[in-house]
Amino acid sequence: MGILQTAERSSHLDPSENVIFQRHMIAYMETAKMISGMVLEIGCGEGYGLVELAPKADKYLAIDKYNTPINKELKEKNNISFRQMEVPPLKGIEDNSIDFVVTFQVIEHINNDELFVSEIYRVLKPGGKLILTTPNKLMSLTRNPWHIREYTPLQMREILQTAFVDIDIKGVFGLGKAMAYYEENKKAVEKIMRWDIFNLQYLLPRFLLQIPYDILNRFNRHKLQDNNNALVDKITIDDFCIKPMTDECFDYFCIATK
């Protein structure tokens, strides 16, 4: 990631990121109930999901664009291997060799999303499953310049259908405290975006917006944490749920079977 640690790389060590961390963790907790055998995680990020998923697998291959430090004891105890690589393609991974592919908050960063999905289909065994999350465009408060695209519900199904037929799309939803935080965040973002009178967030190239977005995003999260400390700190995984997808879900939780 270089000098800048983008806000896209969520960390449980920063209290201001507790809400997004809990939102991501519910996907890992739900997935831990489903996986077994040979598991491939594409985009393991900071590696915090490994604690939940790796013990459920016979073998666990984690890959990421950036080097991910994995606890040595966790790695050895759970038969985890790591490869630093950019995808797609999934180089060096054989056809029909994976039982489960897990990829959370990744596809929105991929230039060729159709190739990404087809490569996942290729490496899955017959009957193997893709478990994928990505933000719901309809619930995004502003353009995220780190994302090449986000998906509407229809677009989410269409991209999966380029390779898969058996598709089940659920959603990650916020409950009481999580929705209260979302509304506070929405107000804060609207205040910031009032200065964008020329709608530059949609007119300028993504690369010009990434650094300003990161600075404002971090500032906003910390300000929300300072002003709503009790709310932010008390939000847990129980303030989110996974149920059938609607336009109001924060993220899609997709299960596609080969």
Q: Report if residue 1 sits inside a domain.
A: no
Q: Looking at the domain assignment, is residue 166 inside a domain? A: yes
Residues 6+ apart with CB under 8 A from 205: none
Q: Which amino acid is at 237?
A: I
Q: Give domain status of residue 8, yes or no.
A: no
Mean pLDDT over residues 80-103, rounded?
Answer: 96
Q: Is the predicted pLDDT of residue 117 greater than 70, yes or no?
A: yes
Among 59-63, 203-207, 228-232, 233-237, the least confident range: 228-232
3 belongs to a structural domain: no
Lay out the sheet containing 166-174: strands in order across: 80-84, 59-64, 38-42, 98-104, 124-135, 251-257, 166-174, 240-244
The average pLDDT across 238-247 equals 97
**pLDDT given for residue 85 in this prediction:** 95
* pTM summary value: 0.90
pLDDT of 152 higher than 60: yes
Residue 5 confidence (pLDDT): 47
Q: Is residue 2 part of a domain?
A: no
When comparing pLDDT for 86 and 227, which is higher?
86
The whole-number average pLDDT for the span 220-237 is: 75
* 4 falls within a domain: no
- Is residue 224 domain-resident? yes
Question: Domain range holding 57?
Answer: 15-257
**10 is a domain residue:** no
How many structural domains comprise the chain?
A: 1
CATH number at residue 42: 3.40.50.150
Question: How confident is residue 1, by pLDDT bands cut at 50, 70 and 90?
Answer: very low
Residue 3 pLDDT level (bands cut at 50, 70, 90): very low
